[in-house]
Chain A
Amino acid sequence: MSGELANPAGVLARRGVEQRSGKGTAAVRRLATGGLVDRTRPLEFEFDGRRYTGLAGDTLASALLANDVRLVGRSFKYHRPRGIFSAGCDEPNALVELRTGARTEPNTRATTVELYDRLTASSQNRWPSLDFDVLSVNRFAAPLLGAGFYYKTFMWPASFWEKVYEPLIRRAAGLGRASGQSDPDAYEKSHAFCDLLVIGAGPAGLMAALTAARAGARVILADEGFRMGGSLLSDNPVIGDRPGSDWAAQAIAELKSFPDVTLMARTTVFGVYDGGTYGAVERVADHLPSPPPFLPRQRLWHIVAKRTVLAAGATERPIVFGGNDRPGVMLAGAVRTYANRYAVAAGADVAVFANNDSAWRAARDLVRAGVAVRTMIDVRDTVDPALLAPLKDAGVRILLGSRVVGTSGKRLHGIEVLTGGHRSSIAADTLAVSGGWSPNVNLTCHLGNRPAWNEDIAAFVPDKLPPGMAVAGAANGRFGLADCFAGGASAAVAALEELGIAATAPALLRAEDEPYRIGAFWHVAESRGPAFVDQQNDVTVKDIGIAHREGFRAVEHLKRYTTLGMATDQGKTSNMIGLAIMAELTGKGIPQTGTTIFRAPYTPVTIGAFAGHHRGKEFRPTRLTPTQGWAERQGAVFIETGAWLRAQYYPKPGESDWQETVNREVRTVRSGVGFCDVSTLGKIDIQGPDAGILLDRVYINTWSTLGVGKARYGVMLREDGMVMDDGTTSRLGPCHFIMTTTTANAAKVYQHLEFCLQVLWPELDVQLASVSEQWAQLSVAGPKARETLARIVDPGFDLSNEAFPFMSAAGLTVIGGVQARLFRISFSGELAYEIAVPAGQGERLAEALMTAGAEFGITPYGTEALGVMRIEKGHAAGSELNGLTTAQDLGLGRMMSKKKDFIGRMMSQRPGLTDPKRPALVGLRPVDRSARLRAGAHFIPVGADAIAANDQGHMTSTAYSPSLGHSIGLGLLSCGPSRIGERVRAVDPVRGADTEVEICNPVFIDPQGDKLRV
Chain B
Amino acid sequence: MRIPCPYCGSRDVQEFSYLGDANLRRPDHEAPEAAFHDYVYLRDNPAGPHRELWYHGSGCRNWLVVTRNTVTHDIAGARFAKEPT
Binding site for B on A (CB under 8 A): 191, 273-277, 302, 304, 467, 719-720, 747, 751, 754-755, 757-760, 762, 901, 905-907, 909-910
Contacts and interface: CB of A to CB of B under 8 A. Distances in A.
Q: Which 9 A-B pairs have the closest CB atoms?
A: A275-B2, A901-B29, A762-B82, A274-B1, A758-B82, A274-B73, A906-B36, A758-B63, A759-B81
Interface string B13-42: 100010100000011010101001101110
A277 B62 contact: no
B79 to A, nearest CB: 12
B75 interface: yes
A275 B5 CA distance: 14
Interface of B, helix, strand, loop or mixed by DSSP = mixed
A278 to B, nearest CB: 12
Contact of B40 (A191, A273, A276, A719): A719
Q: Which of A747, A758, A759, A905 has the most CB of B within 10 A?
A: A759
Contacts of A906: 27, 29, 31, 33, 36
B3 to A, nearest CB: 8
A274 B3 CA distance: 10
A274 B31 CA distance: 41
23 contacts: A273-B1, A274-B1, A274-B73, A275-B13, A276-B2, A277-B12, A304-B2, A304-B10, A304-B12, A467-B74, A754-B55, A755-B55, A755-B63, A757-B82, A758-B62, A758-B63, A758-B81, A759-B53, A762-B83, A906-B31, A906-B33, A907-B37, A910-B33
Contacts of B33: 906-907, 909-910
A277 B1 contact: yes
Contacts of B83: 762
Contacts of B57: 747, 751
A754 B36 contact: no
A747 B63 CA distance: 15
Contacts of B82: 757-759, 762
A906 B30 CA distance: 9
Interface in B53-85: 53, 55, 57, 61-63, 73-75, 80-84
Nearest to A763: B82
A751 B17 CA distance: 10
A275 B1 contact: yes
A719 B39 contact: yes
Interface of B: 1-2, 10, 12-13, 17, 19, 26-27, 29, 31, 33, 36-37, 39-41, 53, 55, 57, 61-63, 73-75, 80-84
Nearest to B57: A751
A522 B73 CA distance: 38
A759 B80 CA distance: 9
Contacts of B26: 719, 760
Q: Which of A757, A758, A762, A910 has the most CB of B within 10 A?
A: A758
Nearest to B53: A759
Contacts of B75: 275
A277 B1 CA distance: 7
Contacts of B53: 759
B49 to A, nearest CB: 15
B63 A759 contact: yes
Nearest to A760: B26
Nearest to B22: A759
A760 B26 CA distance: 7
A191 B84 CA distance: 35
A751 B2 contact: no
B2 A754 contact: no
A907 B33 CA distance: 7
Nearest to B36: A906
Nearest to A719: B40
Contacts of B1: 273-275, 277
Q: Which of B26, B31, B39, B84 has the most CB of A within 10 A?
A: B26
A754 B61 contact: yes
A757 B63 CA distance: 10
A617 to B, nearest CB: 21
Contacts of A907: 33, 36-37, 40
A910 B55 CA distance: 30
Nearest to B17: A751
Nearest to B63: A758
B33 to A, nearest CB: 6
Contacts of A762: 81-84
B39 to A, nearest CB: 7
Given A275-B1, A275-B75, A758 B39 contact: no
A763 B1 CA distance: 32
Nearest to B27: A906
A277 B40 contact: no
A751 B12 contact: no
A304 B2 CA distance: 9
A258 B61 CA distance: 38
A302 B39 CA distance: 38
Contacts of B63: 754-755, 758-759
Given A273-B1, A274-B2, A755-B19, A720 B40 contact: yes
Contacts of A302: 12
Given A277-B2, A754-B61, 6 more contacts: A274-B73, A719-B36, A719-B39, A751-B55, A760-B26, A762-B83
